[in-house]
Amino acid sequence: MTTTLITGASSGLGAEMARQLAARGDDLALCARRQERLTELRAEILAAHPDRRVEVRTLDVLDEDAVFETFRAFRHDLGSLDRVVVNAGLGKGAPLGTGGQAANRETAMTNFVGALTQTEAAMEAFRDQQAGHLVMVSSMSAMRGMPKTMTTYAATKIGAAHLAEGIRNELHGKPLGRTVKVTVLYPGYIASEMNEKVAQKTKMMVPTDVGVRAMVEAIEKQVDSACVPRLPCAPLSVVMKHAPLGVFKKLM
């Protein structure tokens, strides 16, 4: 039985990951800021899978002490944390220098500093257990610097990816590297609460359950990294990284 902790689990990709992982047999530790949403999700999952164990706690990932306390409490209650999915995030933003500094800073703090704290707390557990699976939810926007409202968001997502990749680099060739796995996910346009305002304008948007199924399959395979869904995201990632700027801007 695998015990999976998911942050930002009250809605969107986090909630759907919880549903699909529970269906595959995982026990769950779910946390987010909205207790009511977590309680509803727990009831939904247990109604479908009465044998699962689902623990929920409220958490603001910007509260450093609370992150460590919550992760430790989940581990105590469930016996271990086999997998931690660093998923909590924000999508606010404005072009730099246009008066949107507050939104950009909130996104930067949540998506990078919050991810750093979650990763610290996860690795504390994994080093003590000598085993675990860290899953970092980045974004296809991390492939290249993005314009306008996406600039700060994209920067935070490449930063979060590099946190996880740095851990993999550190552990490579060491005994702990055989028992602690690191996966970075680069989701493309997957319908969620975060992007619902642009969903109608985006031709490549896929339904939440379809996109998350690709994420969950990559997680269970413990791949190093994956652009999900593979089509169109894997080939698109190459174009995003290497296309001339004029071509790239037309794509975006």
Chain segment 136-157, per-residue pLDDT in tens: 999 999 999 999 999 999 999 9
Check if the beta carbon of residue 140 is closer than 8 Å to that of residue 240: yes
Q: Tokens 């209650």 appear where?
A: 77
The radius of gyration of the chain from alpha carbons, rounded to an integer in Å, stands at 18
DSSP at 181:
E
In the predicted structure, residue 65 carries a pLDDT above the cut 60: yes
- What are the DSSP E strand ranges found in 8-82? 27-32, 54-58
Domain ranges (residues) in the chain: 3-251
Residue 200 in this model has a pLDDT that exceeds 90: no
Q: Is the pLDDT of residue 204 over 80?
A: no
Catalytic entry in 153, 186, 189, 248: 153
C-alpha separations of 148 from 97, 193, 203, 225 in Å: 10, 20, 20, 27
Q: Classify domain 3-251 at the CATH topology level.
A: Rossmann fold (3.40.50)
* Confidence (pTM): 0.94
SS3 1: coil
Residue range 229-248, pLDDT digits in tens: 999 999 999 999 998 888 88
Tokens 């930002």 -> residue: 8
What is the C-alpha to C-alpha distance for residues 226 and 248, in angstroms, rounded to an integer?
A: 21
Q: Is 153 a catalytic residue?
A: yes
Given its phi and psi angles, is residue 130 left (phi above 0), alpha (psi -120 to 50 degrees) or beta?
left
Q: How high is the mean pLDDT of the chain?
A: 94
Residue 197: per-residue pLDDT: 55
**Mean of pLDDT values over 189-205:** 64
